[in-house]
Amino acid sequence: MAEQRGNNIRHIVIAGGGTAGWTAAAALARVLGTRDYEITLVESEAIGTVGVGEATIPTIHAFHKMLGINEVDFIRATQATFKLGIEFRGWGSADSRYFHPFGQYGREFDSVPFHQYWLRGSKLADCGPLSDYSLCTLAAERNRFLPASQDPNSILSTLGYAYHFDATLYARYLRGYAENLGVRRIEGRVVDVALRESDGFIRALTLESGQAISGDLFVDCSGFAGLLIGGALNVPYHDWSHYLPANRAVAVPSENIASTKPYTRSTANVGGWQWNIPLQHRTGNGLVYSSDYLSDDEAVSKLLEGLEGKALADPKLLKFTTGRRQAFWHRNCVALGLAAGFMEPLESTAIHLVQTGISRLLMLFPGHEFSSADITEFNQQTATEYEYIRDFLVLHYHVNSRQEPLWQHCRDMPIPETLSQRLALFRNRARIFERDEDLFKRASWLAVMMGQGVIPQGNDPVVDGRPAEKVMGMLHEMRRLLRSGAEAMPSHDQFIEQHCRADKHSMDLPEVNPPTLNATV
């Protein structure tokens, strides 16, 4: 039992398990400890989790470092593979293809971004495509992988990577971590949420068994239902369907039949797009679509037709509305994951938003007073992050040249003014500015805009003053070094086999002894 200390809250109750709930439990237990805080997670085995989000982005490294997670242990326990970026097929024209890398393009060496030199050089001679200056892209094309280097002099320092993993195994891994630190799990379905008459704060959760669980701070990880933030506290939901019309997804795992790609694949089609995510033990597949342009039966048929290997289960249908809560923290309740909002999985941001939400909560962790300034800051930062991600997702849909009705609609629809300004800056002289709370940096915006045919009218005039022979010499040498670096890497499968192949016991609940020193493969 945690000891009451001064004006600090004592009992934190997390409603819901899955990736969001156990991520919150693990981080709270790691940072706060369970001597001064009692942390209880309530979940019901009878309630399924969405569990289709299997791809991540490089920000996961910082979260794992905070937890002290050993990378090799984590990879083996979750059947993970490595992810250098996303291959997009059919997102410009129907036969187009480009790669969104996690690393940078070229190497920054003065105050002018590298891509401006590439634009200048391309006016002078054939400098090759921009993708020739991305180590991630070159490695992905060859199915090769090595981790990034922390040595700024190494060509590997330009590379970034994330993971593909089994989301159910990841939640299980974090559960083992959290329980070993003292988090208490209670099995049961929440049937009622009691509020205090004095201020409308949540007082307790009532389970189907009749057990009441009181607390000071409640974390809503109840998924789309939003039992606390929406159901009990009536916080409205901002619908972004007018910007992002996809409202359904169908998902199915399949057998691995070929070498394991170190990237996610996203293939646009008539009514949406299909994902392909390779894990060690299977491949994750799904089709995201708009029900206005594709029926559920048509979506299932298209998904199954597009599988590379045999389906391992029946397709699972999900319905959603892209958007976010008007407030993510209201009174003594903080919403994480699907209870907070839903950004479709196009750029693998779901787990990131859970982890930044819990990190932000820890930075603004409340006392009994629940300061309105803290709550306002949390909500403003989170809303800005969601909106910047929204704009990046809308970009993919908007700058297409496909002819089907869905894509014509997306090309013609009004877009956020914030996105219009970004596009105008790029179309003029290829300028890209990174803003606070902006998850996707210059290389990401550059990859999508150039990959989908947004061609700038000119380059930054500053680079026009650089000597042409030096610009061309730098581009030639950098292109050579990056290509030789990619060709020297081992294959993705070879690297996994040598360093982190899961064994037959990896499906069992892992024995985790946190914290450990972070180890890199």
Active site residues: 83
Sequence letter at residue 218:
F
The count of residues in the chain is 521
Question: Alpha carbon of 347 to those of 86, 309, 389: distances in Å?
Answer: 8, 24, 9
- C-beta separation of 343 from 390 below 8 A: yes
Instruction: Provide the pairing of β-strand 248-254 with 283-289.
Output: antiparallel
Cα-Cα-Cα-Cα dihedral sign, residues 407, 411, 417, 419: positive
Give the 3-state DSSP-derived string for 362-398, with helices as H, strands as E and coil as C.
HHCCCECCCCHHHHHHHHHHHHHHHHHHHHHHHHHHH
Angle, nearest 10°, between helix axes 60-67 and 18-32? 50
Strand partners of residue 266 = 88, 275
- HSE, CB side, 13 Å, CA atoms: give it for residue 444: 22
Cα 42 from Cα 28, distance rounded (Å): 15
Cβ atoms of 100 and 447 closer than 8 Å? yes
Largest Cα separation within the chain, whole Å, is 78
Contacts of 406 (CB under 8 A, 6+ apart): 245, 270, 271, 272, 290, 292, 293, 294
